[in-house]
Homo-oligomer: A and B are copies of this chain.
Amino acid sequence: MDIQLKRGMLDVCVLAAIRDEDSYGYQIIKDLKPYVELSESTLYTILKRLEAASMLTTRTAEHDGRLRKYYHITDAGHRRIEEFKKEWKEVISIYQFVTKGEEEHA
């Protein structure tokens, strides 16, 4: 998938991945894989960005001797998802503009 097209959706995808229950880096990547593939470097960049924006909080816990950093969505994070849904209407209108009348060339 085109990198550019993913932009603007990735942040929200990560928030959606921790929406129902707290999760950690490795798990988030696995959960998102069926929808979007993203590398670890990309994910950790996004997580840090979202934390700086107060859309999630972090907590470190031990699991099988290894440390895991769990991410928890905040109210602001939920609001971000809602905002995304509102903006989606504009996205759809753009999509319709692009696709209308293109059948003749297909």
Contact = CB atoms under 8 A, between A and B. Distances in A.
A19 interface: yes
A101 B15 CA distance: 13
B5 A98 contact: no
Contacts of A20: 101
12 contacts: A1-B90, A4-B7, A5-B9, A9-B98, A13-B98, A16-B98, A32-B97, A81-B102, A82-B105, A82-B106, A84-B98, A85-B98
Interface of A: 1-9, 11-13, 16, 19-20, 32, 35-36, 78, 81-82, 84-85, 87-88, 90-91, 93-95, 97-99, 101-102, 105-106
